[in-house]
Amino acid sequence: MKIPDNFHYYLSMHEECNERLLARAENLRAEEVEFSPNHEVVRIKKMVNAVMGEAHRMKAFVRLSSLGASVLYGFFKPRHKIGEHICDHFARRNAGMIIVLGNGRESWVSLCREGRIWRDHGGGMAATLEKLKAALHCDQDGSSDDGSCGDPSNVEDLWQVYYDSQYCPERKNLTAFKRHMPRRDQEAAGLRLMQNRKYASLDDFLSD
């Protein structure tokens, strides 16, 4: 994985990153990080690659469900501090939709509109979704009596096309999947819940 010019950004999201390492990295160029034999620089390279690798896998494997026509949410429990980064990614891909990623302890919310990103970082995803339901006047199934939650039909159809393009059981290669998607990352993206439970409920995804 090639070290990008903005490697400082990825380094800052590593769970073990500190101010001293960031200060050290400020004096380095991407080419130096890529090829230097210096012990500390090699560590920086490994940390950058670890964050980039987790971010890449989460972008590919986090699965979103709809709450009415305005909200998409998904289970997400990363190792590194990439919550905002991944949430923004899905917000840009689904402009105008509120994206909620999280777990039983914390959540991230992003909305992309007219090229601008609005963000929030709060407690458990269950509480965040409840607040959104109340704000959008949604019932548990994402509907509302007065229609204020929006007509979900077109959004659901569009989302199903996107979801199908991301996951196709007929094409899955379990050997390659397990090699490139470690068990820890499967749990971080909520995939083990979906693989092991035919009828998983929302509560299953909101536990610690």
Which residues, 6+ apart, have CB-to-CB distance to 147 below 8 Å? none
Q: What is the mean pLDDT of residues 42-67?
A: 95
Structural domain boundaries in the chain? 7-56, 62-205
Q: Determine the pLDDT at residue 135.
A: 76
Can you read off the two tokens belonging to residue 103?
């777990």
Per residue in 115-131, pLDDT tens? 899 999 989 999 888 88
Q: Which residue has better confidence, 172 or 82? A: 82
Q: Determine the pLDDT at residue 32.
A: 96
Q: Determine the pLDDT at residue 113.
A: 86
User: At 132, is the pLDDT very low, low, confident or very high (cuts 50, 70, 90)?
Assistant: confident
- Res 37 pLDDT > 80: yes
Closest CA to 93 of 59, 61, 68, 52: 59
Q: Using CA atoms, how far apart are residues 21 and 41, in angstroms rounded to an integer?
A: 9
- Res 168 pLDDT > 70: no
- Res 88 pLDDT > 60: yes
User: At 157, is the pLDDT very low, low, confident or very high (cuts 50, 70, 90)?
Assistant: very low
Q: Which residue has better confidence, 22 or 183? A: 22
Per residue in 185-198, pLDDT tens? 666 665 554 454 44
Q: Using CA atoms, how far apart are residues 118 and 113, in angstroms rounded to an integer?
A: 8
User: At 67, is the pLDDT very low, low, confident or very high (cuts 50, 70, 90)?
Assistant: confident
Calculate what percentage of the chain has a pLDDT beyond 70: 65
Q: What is the mean pLDDT of residues 166-192?
A: 58
Which residues, 6+ apart, have CB-to-CB distance to 99 below 8 Å? 64, 71, 72, 73, 87, 90, 91, 109, 110, 111
